Amino acid sequence: MKIKITIWHVLLMVSLLLSFFPLLWMISIAFKESSQVFSHILNPLPVPLTIEHFQHVWSTVPLLRYLGNSFFVSSVVTFFQLLTSLLAAYAFTQFQFKGREFLFYLVLASILIPIQVTMLPNYLLLSDLGLVNTYAGLILPQLANGLGVFLLRQSFRSIPSSILESARVDGAGDLKRLWTIMIPAVKPSVIALGILFFITTWNEYLWPLLVINDETKLTIPLAMQLFISTEGGTSWGPMMAMALLASIPPLVAYFLLQKHIISSFLHSGVK
Amino acid sequence: MSRVLTVPLPSLRGSLTSSPIFRKCKPYLFLLPALLPLILFIFAPLVRSLYLSMLSWNMVSPNPEWVGFANYQELLTSEEFWKSTVNTLKYAGCLLVFLLVLPFITAYSVTRVPIRVQNFYKTALFVPHVLSLAVASAIFLWLFNPVVGVLNELLSLVNISAINWLSSPTWALFSVSLIVAWNTFGYHFIILLAGILAVPGEIVESARLEGMKRHLGLLRRIIIPLCGPTLLFVFIMTVVMGIQFAFVPVQMLTNGGPNQETTHLVFLTYQYGFQFFRSGLASATAILTFGLFLILIIVQALLLDRRVHYEN
């Protein structure tokens, strides 16, 4: 088989290079000796290799705690967003009721309202409730997601009516029907959406920045910010070691699930 | 009542769930868990923002003062507001190139190479999106560093003088956009690829048989119109989310500088609200930003609508 190198291949290789360029340098600097960081800038190979930067980060930053915080908050938010989206999408596709159109457009409109409009009132509300600086305050405003409702409604509508009819004959209750018929029928979309919610929450910055200032409750992005501001802009080795450590869990998860993730994105309504 | 009491338990339950009142309420019960948070934490705050924007208040004093449109007036005559607005539009422009045009071209390229290679690129190009923007900002802080950063070192190889990426007024906004672009590119690439792959192969083939050999024609006449809804979605994501994403490197690395060159409307809202404690001014900024986004989205939707072919 002859492989023809076309303009498309060239374009793709350039985007690939640009995508991995910063990552490779992060890894390189994390393992380089401090003196090498300043003198041999263009040499990406960390020779001699050192783990002093990792030891430094490990001894100064409670990283496991921060990873745990991020994991906890992201899991809870993902769970609730999926749950509320599934129930709402079920109602929009399986029931006839007064105000269905209006309520659906209301859900759609919520996607367009950006966080800068809601952050101040939400902060005031949570501070009245005494929830500033708590996980509850971090999680509470994110229990539902309009985009999730919209995308799952699209998926539910694509389920062949023959499948739905057979369930109706069985006389299954609504929740049972949702759980045993509808969710399995659109499983790839549910998984893709769950992953999307998780990544989004994991990477969230603005809302946690406002709500959390207790150092033990920081999530990973805030910990990264704190590290940069306390270490100053010069200890590059530790900074990259910290960046690398913070990225390992999501990267490992991604590589374990990558086939699933990408095909879910491509074949689900997430578009 | 007495009749209900005499029936055995299982059918009591049956009669309850099939009672007309319950059946009428059921759809709303399913909707409530989603609607309640949306109303409490998105729509109510929107209304409260409108109200707050008419007040002069420092968020602690017990007596906020009603000032009508004074906050809007102050904004519309302030230099920093206009600076932020212009910068926001610059960001939107930059990000539309990085996060709509380039990923679209890349996605189209992927459909033109053999399947096995396709799968590799799909997986690989998504990788940066898995990292958080805060981590990306840290990496780029080093890449951009004028003294030890690799970018300037590379430039010096081809005899281009050093660029102060994050601290020169000319480059700072572009550099911040670059961080956001690198982090989000893969996600938009996958969404756009899904859109392109959803275009039926027969349509593309028949267009090709009819002589539409050139990629540009194919893209313009067939693929772009058929991807209309996907393009609109990515456009909205780029404009609405992109500015929010740009908040991260700005807050972490530039603090709006140099000379307010990287500040934008979301960052300004944050500063007014959470650094200067002027809730009225912050809310007014937020409302005006929201209005600006809506206008951009409506214009884009109208432009696309002229050539979008909807499936149904």
What pLDDT digit, counting tens, does each position of B143-168 carry? 998 888 888 888 888 888 888 888 88
Q: Which of B26, B140, B240 is nearest residue A95 as measured by Cβ atoms? A: B26
What residues of chain B lie within 8 A of the CB of A88, using their CB? 30-31, 33-35
pLDDT, residue A19, reads: 93
What residues of chain A lie within 8 A of the CB of B155, using their CB? none
Q: Cα separation of A208 and A91, whole Å?
A: 32
What residues of chain B lie within 8 A of the CB of A97, using their CB? 24, 27-28
First to last CA, chain A: 35
What residues of chain B lie within 8 A of the CB of A203, using their CB? 131-134
- The answer, as to whether pTM is greater than 0.90, is no
Cβ-in-10-Å burial (0-12, 13-18, 19+) of B201 comes to exposed
Confidence of residue B37 (pLDDT cuts 50, 70, 90): very high
pLDDT, residue B3, reads: 45
Q: Cα separation of B178 and B173, whole Å?
A: 9
Q: Cα separation of A30 and B130, whole Å?
A: 19
Residue B4: pLDDT above 60? no
What residues of chain B lie within 8 A of the CB of A87, using their CB? 30-31, 33-34
- Beta pairing partners, B56: B65
Mean pLDDT of B44-49: 96
pLDDT digits (tens, 9 = 90+) for B231-272: 888 988 898 889 999 999 999 999 888 888 999 999 999 999
The ipTM estimated for the assembled molecules is 0.88
Mean pLDDT of A217-230: 92
Q: Which of B186, B273, B282 is nearest residue A19 as measured by Cβ atoms? A: B186
Mean pLDDT of A184-209: 88
What residues of chain A lie within 8 A of the CB of B113, using their CB? 6, 8-9, 12
Residue B31: closest C-alpha in chain A? A88
What residues of chain A lie within 8 A of the CB of B129, using their CB? 199
Tokens 């009491």 sit on residue:
B5
Mean pLDDT of B175-198: 92
- Judge: A224–B134 Cβ closer than 8 Å, yes or no: yes
- Judge: B41–A254 Cβ closer than 8 Å, yes or no: no
- Judge: B35–A220 Cβ closer than 8 Å, yes or no: no
Residue A254: closest C-alpha in chain B? B130
Q: What is the DSSP letter of B160?
A: P
- Judge: A16–B191 Cβ closer than 8 Å, yes or no: no
Residue A186: pLDDT above 50? yes
Residue B130: pLDDT above 50? yes
Best mutation target, B25, B31, B232, to test chain A (most A CBs within 10 A): B31
Mean pLDDT of A97-120: 92
Burial A128-160 (b: 16+ CB within 10 A, else e): eeebbebbebbbbbbbbbbbbbbbbbbbbeeee
Confidence of residue B106 (pLDDT cuts 50, 70, 90): very high
**Residue B309 to chain A, least CA–CA distance (Å):** 16
Confidence of residue A76 (pLDDT cuts 50, 70, 90): very high
DSSP letters spanning B272-292: HHHTS--HHHHHHHHHHHHHH
Helices (H), chain B: 2-6, 9-17, 20-38, 44-52, 70-76, 79-96, 102-110, 115-130, 133-143, 150-157, 172-197, 201-209, 215-218, 224-226, 228-236, 242-249, 265-274, 279-305
- Beta pairing partners, B66: B55
- Judge: A16–B233 Cβ closer than 8 Å, yes or no: no
Question: How many Å is the Cα radius of gyration of chain A?
Answer: 23
Residue A228: closest C-alpha in chain B? B138
Q: Cα separation of B194 and A266, whole Å?
A: 5
- Judge: A206–B247 Cβ closer than 8 Å, yes or no: yes
Polymer length in residues for chain B: 312
Mean pLDDT of B27-32: 93
Percent of chain B with pLDDT over 90: 49
Mean pLDDT highest for which of A198-207, B160-169, B173-182? B173-182
What residues of chain B lie within 8 A of the CB of A242, using their CB? 138
What residues of chain A lie within 8 A of the CB of B17, using their CB? 173
Confidence of residue B9 (pLDDT cuts 50, 70, 90): very low
Best mutation target, B120, B132, B167, B232, to test chain A (most A CBs within 10 A): B132
Residue B308: pLDDT above 60? no
Q: Which of B127, B194, B233 is nearest residue A265 as measured by Cβ atoms? A: B194
A180 or A84: which leads in pLDDT: A84
Q: Which of A123, A146, A236 is nearest residue B142 as measured by Cβ atoms? A: A236
Best mutation target, B21, B30, B196, B254, to test chain A (most A CBs within 10 A): B30
CB B243 within 8 A of CB B265: yes
**Residue B70 to chain A, least CA–CA distance (Å):** 19
Best mutation target, B32, B36, B38, to test chain A (most A CBs within 10 A): B38
- Judge: B252–A225 Cβ closer than 8 Å, yes or no: yes
